[in-house]
């Protein structure tokens, strides 16, 4: 089955000096530019729009390939987006945008502050998940979309879909919240803290003002990514991939250099990450997740949700110990308590937290496809093509 083919990233300025973005904290950004991609076509009554919210290290390039790129390395969620796939571009107009605070074309710490003419660095204001959503909503207005069929996302992306449905229930039919949490545990915050320290203690961090320097905090960012990546995998998947196998040798070398395959893999993950990501963005997105707590005021949430008819799909994976099924059950319980229709499912998968990025087990994609089919029927969108 073919995907969406060759695509391009577009940009739109969604907030300007005469209409700045006021964040939930009260801070203001005089200008916000957003990088985004679209797949499929918006139908005549503009009822088939689906927004993909990406995770911490994601970006706008969710599907297809860019001109000149390796066709075997498509966008980060290509396996779920495309003709006949769960997010079926024969039926849906799919939008994915780089988040506020990002480093792939959307305004963030590496962007130039128009007031100083220099990159923001740590002068960029802290953002909340609802700020990410406000920028998404502004982009949709630019695209002529007033109401979403669904917001779909995994991990931090799921948090955005959840916040969107709570804050703007009359604007969204459905929210698919996958491998996410509504409130990070102390353990999760601890992992975030260690990753943050790895970056900020790097001598090249320069208090966040490293953009004009010859060196950047690559060592710290690589270490932060290595720490994070361990939490994205399950013990089973690490055992199957690496076991205790030695890298490029038959016997151990008994030293402190890389010896085991798993060590080599983590070093590769860290090094490849610094080539495509910004250290400050990593700090900001991690902190955004730390502070996320949408059900803190249950009375307000119940009042908000009652204003619309948004349905929720809450999915977890049994091998995900970063955001375990308990996180998903608590979310589903809170939503049901607020009167929302909720479909909850735990899916057995060997891949850990990263399960939401894989096409298997088949039950995962079948569940998402079934949920999207139900939303589509409610809006009179034609059924999926056979096969």
Above 70 in pLDDT, residue 275?
yes
**Dihedrals phi, psi of 21, to nearest 5 degrees:** -90, 120
Task: Write out pLDDT tens, residues 337-362.
Answer: 999 999 999 999 999 999 999 999 99
Distance, CA of 51 to CA of 302 (rounded, Å): 24
3-state DSSP of the chain: CCCCCEECCEEEEEEECCECEECCCCCEECCEEEEEEEECCCCCCCCCEEEEECCCCCCCCCCCEECCCCCCCCCCCHHHECCCCCECCCCCEEEEECCCCCCCCCCCCCCEECCCCEECHHHCCCCCHHHHHHHHHHHHHHCCCCCEEEEEEECHHHHHHHHHHHHCHHHEEEEEEECCCCCCCHHHHHHHHHHHHHHHCCCCCHHHCCCCCCCCCHHHHHHHHHHHHHHHCCHHHHHHHCCCCECCCCCCCCCCCCCEHHHHHHHHHHHHHHCCCCHHHHHHHHHHHHCCCCCCCHHHHHHHHCCCCCEEEEEEECCCCCCCHHHHHHHHHHHHHCCCCEEEEEECCCCHHHHHHCCCCHHHHHHHHHHHHHHHHHCCCCCCCCC
Q: What is the mean pLDDT of residues 326-340?
A: 95
Catalytic residue among 54, 61, 168, 353: 353
pTM of the shown model: 0.95
In this structure, the number of other CB atoms found within 10 A of the CB of residue 183 comes to 15
In this structure, the number of other CB atoms found within 10 A of the CB of residue 289 comes to 19
Residue the block writes with tokens 């960012």:
221
Q: What is the mean pLDDT of residues 105-126?
A: 97
Q: What is the pLDDT of residue 95?
A: 98
Residue 107: closest CA among 89, 116, 120: 120
**For residue 316, what pLDDT band results from cuts at 50, 70 and 90?**
very high
Question: Hey, what are 174's tokens?
Answer: 């459905």
**For residue 383, what pLDDT band results from cuts at 50, 70 and 90?**
confident
Q: Does 155 participate in catalysis according to the annotation?
A: yes
Q: What is the pLDDT of residue 385?
A: 67
**Dihedrals phi, psi of 289, to nearest 5 degrees:** -70, -40
Q: What is the pLDDT of residue 1?
A: 52
Of 76-85, 116-125, 230-239, 313-322, least confident by mean pLDDT is 230-239
Q: What is the pLDDT of residue 246?
A: 87
Above 80 in pLDDT, residue 145?
yes
Above 80 in pLDDT, residue 386?
no
**Dihedrals phi, psi of 19, to nearest 5 degrees:** -145, 70
Task: Write out pLDDT tens, residues 198-229.
Answer: 999 999 999 999 999 999 999 999 999 999 99
Task: Write out pLDDT tens, residues 116-139.
Answer: 999 999 999 999 999 999 999 999
Above 60 in pLDDT, residue 387?
no
Above 90 in pLDDT, residue 252?
no
Q: What is the pLDDT of residue 10?
A: 97
Q: What is the pLDDT of residue 245?
A: 85
Sequence ranges of the chain with CATH classification 1.10.1740.110:
188-287
Task: Write out pLDDT tens, residues 14-53.
Answer: 999 889 999 999 999 999 999 999 999 999 999 999 999 9
Q: What is the pLDDT of residue 119?
A: 97
Of 59-63, 67-71, 184-188, 369-373, least confident by mean pLDDT is 67-71
Domain 6-183+293-378: state its class: alpha beta
Does CATH number 1.20.5.510 belong to domain 188-287?
no
Distance, CA of 345 to CA of 13 (rounded, Å): 38
CA 256 to chain centre: 35
Catalytic residue among 110, 155, 181, 324: 155
Catalytic residue among 47, 320, 327, 355: 320
Sequence ranges of the chain with CATH classification 3.40.50.1820:
6-183+293-378
Share of the chain above pLDDT 70, in %: 99
Q: What is the pLDDT of residue 174?
A: 97
């Amino acid at each position: 089955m073919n995907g969406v083919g060759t695509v391009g990233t577009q940009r739109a300025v969604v907030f300007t000096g005469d209409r700045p973005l006021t964040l939930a904290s009260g801070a203001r950004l005089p200008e916000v530019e957003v990088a985004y991609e679209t797949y499929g076509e918006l139908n005549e009554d503009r009822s088939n729009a689906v927004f993909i919210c990406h995770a911490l290290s994601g970006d706008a390039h969710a599907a297809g390939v860019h001109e000149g790129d390796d066709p075997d390395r498509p966008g980060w969620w290509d396996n779920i987006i495309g003709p006949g796939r769960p997010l079926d571009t024969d039926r849906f107009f799919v939008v994915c945008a780089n988040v506020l605070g990002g480093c792939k074309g959307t305004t963030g710490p590496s962007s130039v502050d128009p007031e100083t003419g220099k990159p923001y660095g740590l002068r960029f204001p802290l953002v909340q998940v609802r700020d990410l959503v406000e920028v998404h909503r502004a982009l949709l207005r630019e695209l002529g979309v007033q109401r979403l069929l669904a917001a779909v996302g995994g991990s931090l992306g799921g948090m955005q879909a959840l916040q969107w449905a709570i804050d703007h229930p009359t604007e969204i039919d459905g929210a698919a919240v996958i491998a996410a949490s509504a409130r990070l545990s102390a353990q999760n915050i601890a992992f975030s803290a260690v990753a943050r320290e790895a970056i900020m203690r790097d001598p090249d961090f320069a208090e966040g003002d490293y953009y004009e320097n010859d060196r950047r905090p690559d060592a710290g960012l690589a270490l932060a990514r290595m720490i994070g990546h361990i939490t994205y995998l399950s013990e089973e998947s690490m055992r199957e991939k690496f076991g205790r196998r030695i890298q490029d040798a038959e016997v151990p070398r008994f030293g402190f250099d890389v010896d085991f395959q798993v060590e080599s893999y983590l070093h590769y993950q860290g090094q490849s990450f610094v080539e495509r990501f910004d250290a400050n963005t990593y700090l900001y997105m991690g902190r955004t997740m730390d502070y996320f707590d949408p059900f803190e005021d249950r009375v307000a949430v119940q009042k908000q949700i009652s204003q619309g008819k948004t349905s929720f799909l809450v999915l977890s994976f049994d091998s995900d110990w970063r955001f375990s099924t308990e996180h998903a059950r608590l979310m589903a319980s809170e939503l049901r308590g607020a009167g929302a229709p909720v479909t909850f499912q735990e899916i057995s998968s060997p891949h850990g937290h990263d399960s939401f990025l894989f096409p298997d087990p088949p039950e995962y994609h079948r569940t998402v496809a079934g949920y999207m089919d139900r939303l589509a029927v409610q809006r009179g969108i034609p059924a999926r093509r056979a096969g």
